[in-house]
Amino acid sequence: MNIGDAAKASGVSAKMIRYYEETGLIPPAARTAAGYRVYGDQDVHMLRFIRRARDLGFSVEGIRELLGLWRDRDRHSADVKRLALAHVAELRQKIRELEDMATTLETLAQHCHGNDRPDCPILSELEAPTSRRVRPDIR
Amino acid sequence: MNIGDAAKASGVSAKMIRYYEETGLIPPAARTAAGYRVYGDQDVHMLRFIRRARDLGFSVEGIRELLGLWRDRDRHSADVKRLALAHVAELRQKIRELEDMATTLETLAQHCHGNDRPDCPILSELEAPTSRRVRPDIR
DNA sequence: GCTTGACCTTACCACGGTTGGAAGGCTTAT
DNA sequence: ATAAGCCTTCCAACCGTGGTAAGGTCAAGC
């Protein structure tokens, strides 16, 4: 199987397969005499694994660890669980940050008239946070 | 005021101030005879504006538009509001994606024994996903 | 045979946003 | 005069992905 077929079968683009090989996330593929990379079902299996881990937001480094455990028949599921929950914590942290941004902005927008006048609490807040200006900016 | 002082006063690193100037987000600063950039209170004001917009997750492009409106005395607050709410929508979209990831992963982790045995539903799911349903039909 | 088109190869450039460093000039205080 | 601490420009890197160019290879059809 050439790289294009492996890409189609795994959902990982040929570009990224080469990148993953180059960065050592996956072992170098076998080659034909002409230098073409050759993949088997096992390789596609691994690529699909990687694809799904990325869909779950794991970084390439995280996937490296997951792959290590995946290949380790003597792994402890506790290690996998720990990795997963650590990632969940990161996700939740990120979510909190985005949520804070969104609610802040939404609150500001609620107080913005949204008409053809220039005064707007969103810009005021960006100008000087926490201490909302009492008068509009007259320059 | 030199760039270092402007950086301290605004919370935007000197590095980024130069970058913003280079990319045209902010106008070129005045220079001393020796080529040092010189900043005034007005400039620091603008840099703080940028800093806060970034804290709210606006992209540099978004900030460019915000700055335009900020400087436009004849702006319509409706335009600001529209910009802000569009950004809120993006944030919420991103939050939904991360939330889906976290929920999926958390559910899988709940079913993982987390002991010294190798079998683990997290790895199983990554190998061959059983269900694409990521969260109960809340929406 | 020979051409065509689809594939493969490596090697670059780009993005966004930020950080780091190197090499050299300027300012200020000692 | 010299040291320190600024400043300047330029160049590289990060992540993950996409693109593009120049060339090699394979299988088909004529």
pLDDT (tens digit, 9 = 90+) per residue, B35-77?
Answer: 999 999 999 999 999 999 999 999 999 999 999 999 999 999 9
B131 pLDDT more than 90:
no
Q: By the CB < 8 Å criterion, does A80 face chain B?
A: yes
Which nucleotide is at minimal CA–C1' distance from A22? C10
pTM of the shown model: 0.89
Q: Do A126 and B66 touch (CB under 8 A)?
A: yes
What is the band of B129 on the pLDDT scale with cuts at 50, 70, 90? confident
Is the pLDDT assigned to residue B132 strictly greater than 60?
A: no
The runs of H, that is alpha helices, within B11-76 are 14-22, 41-55, 60-71
Whole-Å CA distances, A59 to A28, A83, B43, B59, B136: 20, 12, 38, 22, 26
Q: Is the dihedral of CA A42, A43, A47, A48 positive or negative?
A: negative
Dist CA B17 CA B23 (whole Å) = 10
- Band the pLDDT of B136: cuts 50, 70, 90: very low
Mean pLDDT on A38-62: 96
**Residue A88 and residue B102 in contact, taking contact as beta carbons nearer than 8 Å:** yes
Give me the count of residues in chain B.
Answer: 139
Facing residue for A57 by CB, picked from B76, B98, B126: B98
> Cβ separation of B118 and A73 shorter than 8 Å?
yes
**Chain A residues touching residue B109 (CB < 8 angstroms):** 81, 84-85, 88
Question: Which of A56, A98, A115 is closest, CB to CB, to B101?
Answer: A56
Q: What's the gap in Å between the CA of B28 and the closest CA on chain A?
A: 21
Q: pLDDT value at position A130?
A: 62
Which residue from A minimizes the CA distance to B127?
A49
pLDDT above 50 for A113: yes
Residue B23 has phi, psi (to 5 degrees) of: -90, 0
Q: Stretch A22-49: mean pLDDT, rounded? A: 96
Q: Cβ contacts (< 8 Å) between B126 and chain A: which residues?
A: 49, 52-53, 56, 66, 70
pLDDT average, residue stretch B99-116: 95
Query: What nucleotides of chain C have any atom within 7 angstroms of a protein Cβ?
Result: 7-10, 16-20, 25-27
Gap from A21 CA to D19 C1', Å:
19
CA of A113 to C1' of D20 (A): 48
Please tell me the number of Cα atoms within 13 Å of A71 on its side-chain side: 13
More reliable by pLDDT, A56 or B130? A56
The answer to whether the C-beta of B19 is closer than 7 A to strand C is yes
Domains in chain A: ranges and CATH: 1-56 (1.10.1660.10)
The DSSP call for residue A105 is H
What's the CA gap between B4 and B26, in Å, rounded?
17
Q: How near does any CA of chain A get to the CA of B44, in Å?
A: 11
Distance from CA of B33 to the nearest CA of A (A): 31
